[in-house]
């Protein structure tokens, strides 16, 4: 394992985590995808088209914004990496454009995807519309009820949306349904939305999302003349977090903090605090930290933020935890909601509920820091999708 580059080995393992725990037929498909990806990602025309779309379609580079009002209140320098300003309103578009370009280059005509909060579904439907590809999305029923507007957006963009009514009816069950469809329709391209699943997905999604950290590093050096003291990002599957963290991994003076959903409290069982309470196990074709029962089955999970209600986490995050390169904290629904309202009122930016978890922890952290210390929060998505749901809570 080359820790400096933090790439998986040829079998897709980050240390002991990752791999391909899938049926033989699916393993063949994954190995073919790995070969195609490793070859195509080096192609100059592919890279040129990806960069052009990032700049002129997605709107990159996204801003690194100094949150002056919150910084003044909490007593240190707080910056937002504004992924919410991307086309479709979240970091998800970075990965969907990359994978849709790959699918088109391979010659595949249809893509499928899972979604939790709906942001990956919208971004996938957007990329499919742009590339002229057929698109089908799987979404858990509980998440679908929270995010009706995102379902309409997906349909407006030409995607078919399948509401999953089995199991816990959240993100894990949407992934189950998408994988089941994929096994019976190997001719489609499964556009996975996070750094989870069998190899090469954790590597591939990370590569497309690493643009976040590459930009942030250049921007903070320009604005402050040095690297930050802390990077903070919410963690469900972990793509927005590893996207911010990846380019900073060699910079040991920069502390990496992932923030998980403690939901209604760790003792209630209504949470998705995988790194806090989970143990290594297998889920959706990869080995990583997992909330599981004594038989190794995934436990039901909960979060007020639909994009975080997943019982596992990306294998690279698990590796970073074990080597003590990243820390993982947790935030309750109530704390996230307070940060949602506070950021909206004080900074004039409405955050996604997922992002609000990272913000809530950052505010607690900021109180302990000196005024010259720097936190960069990955502002992973905007809160348009959550406003109606939050309003219904009052």
> Does residue 307 have a pLDDT over 80?
yes
* Residue of 92, 104, 217, 321 with catalytic role: 92
Spell out the residues 6+ positions from residue 345 whose beta carbon is closer than 8 angstroms to its own: none
How far apart, in whole angstroms, are the C-alpha atoms of residue 105 and residue 99?
10
3-state secondary structure of 115: strand
> Does residue 18 have a pLDDT over 70?
yes
What integer pLDDT is reported at residue 280 of this predicted model? Answer: 98
Percentage of the chain modeled with pLDDT above 70: 98
The tokens describing 184, both together, are 């019976």
3-state secondary structure of 325: coil
Name the band, by pLDDT with cuts 50, 70 and 90, for residue 6. Answer: low
What integer pLDDT is reported at residue 117 of this predicted model? Answer: 82
CATH 1.20.1630.10 fits 59-89+210-392, yes or no: no
What integer pLDDT is reported at residue 88 of this predicted model? Answer: 96
What integer pLDDT is reported at residue 25 of this predicted model? Answer: 87
Cα–Cα distances (Å) from 54 to 45, 57, 212, 319, in that order, read 14, 6, 11, 29
What integer pLDDT is reported at residue 4 of this predicted model? Answer: 53
Residue range 319-373, pLDDT digits in tens: 999 999 999 999 999 999 999 999 999 999 999 999 999 999 999 999 999 999 9
Residue range 114-165, pLDDT digits in tens: 998 899 999 999 999 999 999 999 999 999 998 899 999 999 999 999 999 9
From the list 62, 57, 100, the residue with the least C-alpha distance to 204 is 100
The tokens describing 254, both together, are 């920069």
From the list 181, 175, 208, the residue with the least C-alpha distance to 37 is 208
Q: Residue 394 gets which letter from DSSP? A: -
- Where helices occur in the chain by DSSP H, the ranges are 24-40, 44-53, 68-74, 92-106, 119-131, 141-146, 148-156, 171-184, 201-209, 211-224, 239-245, 274-277, 315-322, 333-347, 353-366, 384-392
How far apart, in whole angstroms, are the C-alpha atoms of residue 334 and residue 91?
24
Is position 380 annotated as part of the catalytic site? Answer: yes
Is position 92 annotated as part of the catalytic site? Answer: yes
Residue range 201-222, pLDDT digits in tens: 999 999 999 999 999 999 999 9
> Does residue 291 have a pLDDT over 70?
yes
Is position 114 annotated as part of the catalytic site? Answer: yes
How far apart, in whole angstroms, are the C-alpha atoms of residue 186 and residue 168?
26
CATH number corresponding to 13-53+92-206: 3.40.50.1100
> What residues does each domain of the chain span?
13-53+92-206, 59-89+210-392
How far apart, in whole angstroms, are the C-alpha atoms of residue 356 and residue 339?
6
Q: Do 13-53+92-206 and 59-89+210-392 fold alike per CATH?
A: yes
Residue range 175-211, pLDDT digits in tens: 999 999 999 999 999 999 999 999 999 999 999 999 9
* Residue of 62, 81, 114, 260 with catalytic role: 114
What integer pLDDT is reported at residue 57 of this predicted model? Answer: 98
Percentage of the chain modeled with pLDDT above 90: 96
Residue range 52-62, pLDDT digits in tens: 999 999 999 99
* Residue of 71, 306, 362, 380 with catalytic role: 380
């Amino acid at each position: 394992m080359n820790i400096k580059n933090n790439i998986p080995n040829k079998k897709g393992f980050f240390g002991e985590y990752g791999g391909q725990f899938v049926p033989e037929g699916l393993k063949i498909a994954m190995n073919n995808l790995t070969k195609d990806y490793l070859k195509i990602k080096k192609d100059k025309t592919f890279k040129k088209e990806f960069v052009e779309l990032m700049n002129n379609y997605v709107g990159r580079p996204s801003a690194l914004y100094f949150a002056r009002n919150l910084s003044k209140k909490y007593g240190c320098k707080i910056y937002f990496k504004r992924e919410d300003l991307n086309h479709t309103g979240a970091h998800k578009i970075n990965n969907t454009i990359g994978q849709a370009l790959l699918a088109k280059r391979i010659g595949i005509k249809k893509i499928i995807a899972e979604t939790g909060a709906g942001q990956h579904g919208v971004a996938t439907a957007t990329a499919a519309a742009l590339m002229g590809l057929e698109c089908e999305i799987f979404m858990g029923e509980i998440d679908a009820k929270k995010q009706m507007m995102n379902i309409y957006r997906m349909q407006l963009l030409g995607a078919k949306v399948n509401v999953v009514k089995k199991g816990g009816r959240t993100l894990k069950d949407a992934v189950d349904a998408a994988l089941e469809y994929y096994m019976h329709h190997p001719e489609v391209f499964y556009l996975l939305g996070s750094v989870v699943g069998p190899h090469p997905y954790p590597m591939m999604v990370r590569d497309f999302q690493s643009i976040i950290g590459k930009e942030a590093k250049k921007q903070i050096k320009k604005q402050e003349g040095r690297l930050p003291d802390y990077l903070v990002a919410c963690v469900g599957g972990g793509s927005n977090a590893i996207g911010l963290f990846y380019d900073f991994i060699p910079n040991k003076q920069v502390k990496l903090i992932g923030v998980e959903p403690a939901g209604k409290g760790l003792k209630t069982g209504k949470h998705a605090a995988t790194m806090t309470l989970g143990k290594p196990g297998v889920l959706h074709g990869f080995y990583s930290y997992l909330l599981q029962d004594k038989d190794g089955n995934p436990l039901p999970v909960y979060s007020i933020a639909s994009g975080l209600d997943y019982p596992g986490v990306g294998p690279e995050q698990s590796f970073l935890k074990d080597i003590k390169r990243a820390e993982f904290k947790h935030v309750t629904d109530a704390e996230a909601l307070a940060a949602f309202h506070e950021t909206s009122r004080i900074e004039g930016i409405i955050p996604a509920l997922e992002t609000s978890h990272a913000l809530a922890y950052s505010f607690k952290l900021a109180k302990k820091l000196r005024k010259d210390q720097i936190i960069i929060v990955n502002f992973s998505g905007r809160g348009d999708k959550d406003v109606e749901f939050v309003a219904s809570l009052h």
